[in-house]
Amino acid sequence: MYLRQLQLIQFRNYDELLLSLSEGINCFTGANGAGKTNILDAVHFLAFTKGFRSSQDQQAVQKGADFFFNGGKLIRKTTKDGKEIEKSVQCNYQKGKGKKVMVDLQPLKRMSDHIGYIPMVSILPSDTDLINGPSAGRRQFMDMLISQYDQVYLRNLIQYNRVIDQRNALLRQFASQGGVDQDQLDLWNMQMVPLGIAIQKERARFTELFMPVFEDYFKKIVSEQEKPGIRYNPNIHDFTEEAWHKALKDKEARDLINQYTGLGIQRDDLVFQIDDRSVRNFGSQGQQKTFVISLKLAQYALLQNQKKLPPILLLDDIFDKLDKYRLAKIAGILDEDMEGQIFITDTSLERMKLVFAETLKKVKFFEVQEGRINEVVTQ
Ligand SMILES: Nc1ncnc2c1ncn2[C@@H]1O[C@H](COP(=O)(O)OP(=O)(O)OP(=O)(O)O)[C@@H](O)[C@H]1O
Ligand SMILES: [Mg+2]
């Protein structure tokens, strides 16, 4: 599946834009602040019904305007006879009215139903937060990835979070009214435990699937012999109802004092290591970047395998941070392993031309200037 056309109206710094895209590689180059990342944000919107820059849709509305339109025409090739089918995804947002997303002109009832329809992976400068930031980012990484191939997981997760919200509300109610209704609390525990275990099992399975693929990419990019590792660190170590109920009982007094649920899958983490040492505490910046890029490339490979469809890949400014050796290695991987459409931003058109000088893919170069885009014609 690839995006053939992107149309924007009053989206961030784009007043009106109509872009015809390459099914191979699309390079957006230009000065700082020109609007390169905004294009990736718009493409991300079509797949996830939100941008990556902000969770608030209204921030994507062009300054001074009161709505935006973001429309994409996608091409899906059928596996049987290679016939091309055109699909459209349109997002409208109007201040005060909210957001509407339509697939083939049919409005979506639930945004979550759309996740996974357009498989997509992005590599952004902020992704180093995966290593250096709090555990929530690592859980979100797992959750987003699993949700793209497993709708049941996503539903369980949404349900689990609702149960935790209710349980927390109850804990607050006990604190404000005095006294504890044990039956009511047990009722929420009974709902929380099976959901939590289903999520744990899926996270453990995911880590096992993911690890070898990740290791492969890491070794392809790095010349020296470094051994990377990823470990799932669940907050409750046994995946059994007994273990969960015991843990909940043991921590019940603390939960009542804190007025929130202090254990469960909302406390899980992923541990990242190189040569058995924490990447966060011991890894150099270059190692950290390589680790993150390998995580994302593995995410890509896993998704492609699950969906039997190459995802769209968004790369924001990744080449800027890499030495020549790693740059060449990654360019090689993009060329050989990444079958889907690629969107890439960089400040230098010359560097992009150099990087993709020998690619077998169809490349389009776009120069971005203050919310306007011109295609660079190359011989
Ligand atoms: N809602 C909005 N309305 C108008 N302009 C906006 C809006 N949101 C962001 N911008 C503008 O978009 C520009 C930033 O665009 P973007 O982040 O895509 O730049 P870039 O080309 O990726 O730059 P860099 O090379 O620094 O990463 C800024 O000038 C910012 O003011
Ligand atoms: Mg940018």
Tell me the three-class secondary structure of 61-100, residue by residue: ECCCCCEEEEEEEEEEECCCCCCEEEEEEEEEEECCCEEE
Q: Where are the chain's structural domains?
A: 1-119+312-379, 132-308
Pocket of ligand 1 contains residue 12 by CB under 6 Å: yes
The protein residue whose alpha carbon is closest to atom 25 in ligand 1 is 32
Q: Residue 311 gets which letter from DSSP?
A: P
- φ/ψ of residue 104, rounded to 5: 50, 45
Give the tens place of pLDDT for each residue, 42-81: 999 999 999 999 889 999 999 999 999 999 999 988 767 7
**Could you tell me the pLDDT band of residue 186, with boundaries at 50, 70 and 90?**
very high
How many other CB atoms sit within 10 Å of the CB of residue 124? Answer: 21
User: What's the CA angle centered on 168, arms 165 and 171, to 5 degrees?
Assistant: 155
* Dihedral, 58, 63, 66, 70 alpha carbons, nearest 10: -70
pLDDT recorded at residue 321: 67
Q: How far is the CA of 9 from the centre of ligand 1 (A)?
A: 15
Q: Tell me what the pLDDT averaged over the chain comes to.
A: 93
Model confidence, pTM: 0.85
Q: Which class is 132-308 in CATH?
A: mainly alpha
Give the tens place of pLDDT for each residue, 119-160: 999 999 999 999 999 999 999 999 988 987 888 999 999 999
Cα distances from 51 to residues 169, 219, 257, 311, in angstroms, run 31, 31, 38, 17
Pocket of ligand 1 contains residue 326 by CB under 6 Å: no
**Could you tell me the pLDDT band of residue 89, with boundaries at 50, 70 and 90?**
very high
Amino acid residing at 36? K
**Could you tell me the pLDDT band of residue 18, with boundaries at 50, 70 and 90?**
very high
Fold of 1-119+312-379: Rossmann fold (3.40.50)
pLDDT recorded at residue 375: 97
